[in-house]
Amino acid sequence: MKSKNSGMKFAVILTIIILGALTALVVINSESKNDEESEVKLLPTEGQPILGEANAPVTVVEFGDFKCPSCKAWGETIFPRLVSEYVDTGKVKFSYINVLFHGEESKLGSIAAESVLKNFPDAYWDFHKGLFKEQPSQNHDALWINQEKILEVASGVPGIDVDKLKTDIEQQSDLEAVNKDTELVEEFKVQQTPTIIINGIMLEDPFDYEKIKTYIEKELEGNQL
């Protein structure tokens, strides 16, 4: 009789342990999923630079900073693949929002970019890529975004009136547009650059291109239903 009771106690204890392990596994899986992505509301892109078809079914937004080394790396490795596979094929439109995590240099570069977007929109993406290209490979904290460097980049992009850009920079003519971007950074609680949002899904790892493709394809399938 004593042996039977001991066996029942052991079975109860074993059941509790198994249930506890299963609960922990569910929690871990749930936390793992939350680490990968989070849902946010759809991000407005009116007034932002757009690459691709305006009526493309999927919108990919990058929160980036011209001073950010990871943003430059993303632009050189992930961005070309995204453009080739999805933007050029009309499936995705891409938009960029300025982040000022690196202070006055980020602000200066963003003001210049907003001026180019407003006055010479066809030249925006060439200027955008040109400014990122000037980011030094070493000593990322060096003071390299200045008016001289910006105008040097602009002078190499067809369609930009360098004198007009110089005036806009000196007068901070497009500071309001930059401030609107900062409001979006705060509203969407952006903590890192680059941050990538796909139709309201904020990715944890912007360099996981297979994950980016997975969410784009899911959105494309949803638009076909």
Q: Is the pLDDT of residue 2 over 90?
A: no
Q: What pLDDT, on a 0 to 100 scale, did the predictor assign at position 138? A: 85
DSSP three-state, residue 124: helix
Q: How far apart are the first and last CA of the chain?
A: 64
For 50-224, which CATH superfamily applies?
A: Glutaredoxin (3.40.30.10)
- Where along the chain do its domains lie? 2-39, 50-224
How confident is the model over 208-218, as a mean pLDDT?
A: 97
Binning pLDDT at 50, 70 and 90, where does residue 20 land? very low
Give CA angle at 136 (131, 140), nearest 5°: 110
CB 212 within 8 A of CB 203: yes
Q: Which residues of 118-153 are buried (b: 16+ CB within 10 A; e: fewer)?
A: ebbeebbbbbbebbbeebeeeeeeeeebeeebbbeb
- Whether cis (ω within 30° of 0) applies to the bond prior to 194 is yes
Binning pLDDT at 50, 70 and 90, where does residue 220 land? very high
Q: Is the pLDDT of residue 86 over 70?
A: yes
What string of DSSP letters covers 30-67? HHHHHHHEEE-PPPP-TTS-EES-TT-SEEEEEEE-TT
CB 159 within 8 A of CB 123: yes
Q: Is the pLDDT of residue 21 over 90?
A: no
Q: What pLDDT, on a 0 to 100 scale, did the predictor assign at position 23? A: 39
How confident is the model over 209-214, as a mean pLDDT?
A: 97
